[in-house]
Structure 1
Amino acid sequence: MADPLPGVSYVMPVLNEVEHIEDAVLSLTAQHYEGPTEVVLALGPSADGTNDVVGRLSAQDPRIRSIPNPLGSTPGGLNAAIRASIHPVVIRVDAHSVLPADYTRIAVDTLLRTGADNVGGIMKAVGVTPFEKAVATAYGSRTGLGGTPHHVGGAEGPAETVYLGVFRRDRLFAVGLFDEEIKRGQDWELNRRLRTTGGTVWFTPELQVEYRPRSSLRRLARQFVATGMWRGELARRFTASNSIRYFIPPLAVLGVIGGLVAGAVGLATGNGLLTAALIIPGVYAAFVVFAAIETARNGLRAFLWYLVVLPTIHIGWGTGFLLGFLKLTRNITARTGR
Structure 2
Amino acid sequence: MITVVCPVYNEEEFIENVLKFFVEAKPDDKELIIVDGGSTDRTLEIIANWIKNYNNIKLLHNKNKYVPYALNLAIRNSKGDPIIRLDAHTLYEKNYLEKILETFEKTNADIVGGPMRKIGHTDFQLAVAYATTSMFGIGDSKIHRIDYSGESDHVYLGAWRRKLFDEIGYFDEKLVRNQDDEFHYRAKSFGKKIYLSSEIVSYYYPRKTFLGLFKQYFQYGLYKPLVLKKIKSEIKLRHLIPALFTTYLILLPILIILNEFFILPLLLYFLINLIFTLRNRGSFKQKILIFMVYTVIHLAYGLGSILGLSKIFKLSF
**Structure 2 partner of 1:293:** 278
2:24 aligned partner: 30
Instruction: Give the AA of the match of 2:22.
Output: L
Aligned to 1:277: 262
Identify which of 195, 198, 201 aligns with 1:205: 198
Partner in structure 2 of residue 117 of structure 1: 110
Structure 1 residue 173 and structure 2 residue 166: aligned?
yes
Do structure 1's residue 21 and structure 2's residue 15 form an aligned pair?
yes
Shift of 1:228: 0.6
In 2: Cα distance, 1:24 partner to 1:275 partner: 55
Indicate the residue corresponding to 2:189 in structure 1: 196
Stretch deviating more after TM superposition (321-330 or 216-225): 321-330
Q: 1:75·1:183 contact (CA, 8 Å) conserved in 2?
A: yes
1:164 aligned residue: 157
Q: Per the alignment, in what secondary structure is the counterpart of residue 42 of structure 1? A: strand
| Cα pair 2:110 2:192 within 8 Å, conserved | yes
Measure how far apart 1:79 and its partner are: 0.8
Structure 1 residues 309 and 329: CA distance shift in structure 2, 3 A: farther
Aligned residues: percent identity?
28
Q: Match of 2:290, as an amino acid? A: Y
Structure 2 CA distance for aligned equivalents of residues 327 and 253 of structure 1: 17
Residues 263-313 of structure 1: CA deviation (Å, up to 9, x unaligned):
3xx3xxxxxx62221222111122222221133x33122112112211111
Deviation at 1:93, TM superposition (A): 1.1
Aligned to 1:10, the other structure's residue is in SS state strand
Q: Distance in 2 between matches of 1:243 and 1:227?
A: 15
Work out whether residues 232 and 320 of structure 1, in 8 Å CA contact, stay in contact via their aligned partners in 2: no
Task: Look up the match of 1:77.
Answer: 70
Shift of 1:223: 0.6
- Gaps (5+ residues) in structure 1? 1-6, 267-272, 332-338
Say whether residues 1:87 and 2:80 are aligned partners. yes
Partner of 2:225: 232
**Which residue number in structure 1 is paired with residue 252 of structure 2?**
259
8 Å CA contact 1:260, 1:278 repeated in 2: no
- Which residue is 1:4 aligned to? none
Q: Confirm whether residue 10 of structure 1 aligns to residue 4 of structure 2.
A: yes
1:203-251 superposed Cα distances (whole Å, 9 cap, x missing partner): 1122222101111111110011011100122223333331222111111
* Distance of 1:234 and 1:192 partners within structure 2: 9
Looking at structure 2, the residues matched to 236 and 87 of structure 1 have their Cα atoms a distance apart, in angstroms, of: 32
SS of aligned partner of 2:270: helix
Alpha-carbon distance in structure 2 between the residues aligned to 1:258 and 1:217: 25
Q: 1:182 aligned to 2:167?
A: no
13 and 330 in structure 1: CA distance in 2 versus 1, 3 angstrom threshold: farther
Q: TM-score, normalised by structure 2?
A: 0.92
1:298 corresponds to which letter in structure 2? G
In the alignment, the residues of structure 2 paired with residue 109 and residue 237 of structure 1 have an alpha-carbon distance, to the nearest angstrom, of: 32
Matched letter for residue 22 of structure 1: E
1:317 aligns with 2:301: yes
The equivalent of 2:59 in structure 1 is 66
| Cα distance in structure 2, aligned partners of 1:285 and 1:142 | 15
Are residues 93 and 261 of structure 1, via their aligned partners in 2, closer, same or farther at CA, if it must alter by over 3 Å? farther
Shift of 1:48: 2.9
- 2:213 corresponds, among 211, 216, 220, to 220
1:173 aligned partner, one-letter code: D
Task: Give the secondary-structure state (helix, strand or coil) at the position aligned to 2:31.
Answer: strand
SS in 1 for 2:197: strand
Q: What's the CA shift string for 1:11-30, capped at 9, x where partnerless? A: 01111223322223322323
- Per the TM alignment, residue 153 of structure 1 is displaced from its structure 2 partner at its CA by 3.5
Q: State the alpha-carbon separation in 1 of the partners of residues 16 and 126 from structure 2.
A: 21
Q: Which range moved further: 169-178 or 135-144?
A: 169-178
SS of residue paired to 2:198: strand
The aligned length equals: 315
